[in-house]
Amino acid sequence: MTQLTGQPMTDDDIVHLTVPADGGYLGVLRTATAGLAARLQFALDEIEDLRIAVDEACAMLLAIATRDAELECRFAVTEDALTVEVTVPTVRGATLPSESSFAWKVLTALTTSASARAADGRATIALLTRRASGY
């Protein structure tokens, strides 16, 4: 298995969390994000930026999620990067904000890269953050 960073991975480097698609559960994902980023020795400001980006990505997805949906979050950990993919089932005809929207500008400002895809009634936002400081 190879992650977006091009580095080989093992299953031990993947964390899956599933929570109800409700804003009240986003704290769980923010905490997991911070914990994994801290494990990679991200600087405090990098951790906070990533937490905000995950929160923003989830907010985008919650706006188009089906009723009683679950928010699936996949964290992929490599030596110097953390990739977070958040997925929800979407209501018929739902669209993600355009890449020129303010929400996307926030995501791209806070992460190394951000992308989105929608297919088969599901939408996913992927965020990649590389550690800026060398440890």
pLDDT of 20 = 96
Sequence spans of domains, the chain = 13-130
Which amino acid appears at position 110 of this protein? L
Q: Supply the CATH classification number for the domain 13-130.
A: 3.30.565.10
Helices (H) and strands (E) in the chain, counts: 3, 5
pLDDT of 10 = 52
pLDDT of 2 = 40
pLDDT of 132 = 79
Question: DSSP readout, 28-68?
Answer: HHHHHHHHHHHHTT--HHHHHHHHHHHHHHHHHHHTTBPTT
Structure token digits, residue 99:
């890449």
pLDDT of 98 = 85
Phi, psi of 123, rounded to the nearest 5 degrees: -125, 140
pLDDT tens digit sequence for 75-121: 999 988 999 999 999 999 888 888 888 989 999 999 999 999 999 99
Apex 116 CA angle, 73 and 80, nearest 5: 60
pLDDT band at 46 (very low <50, low <70, confident <90, very high): very high
C-alpha dist (Å) from residue 4 to 47, 81, 121 = 19, 10, 23
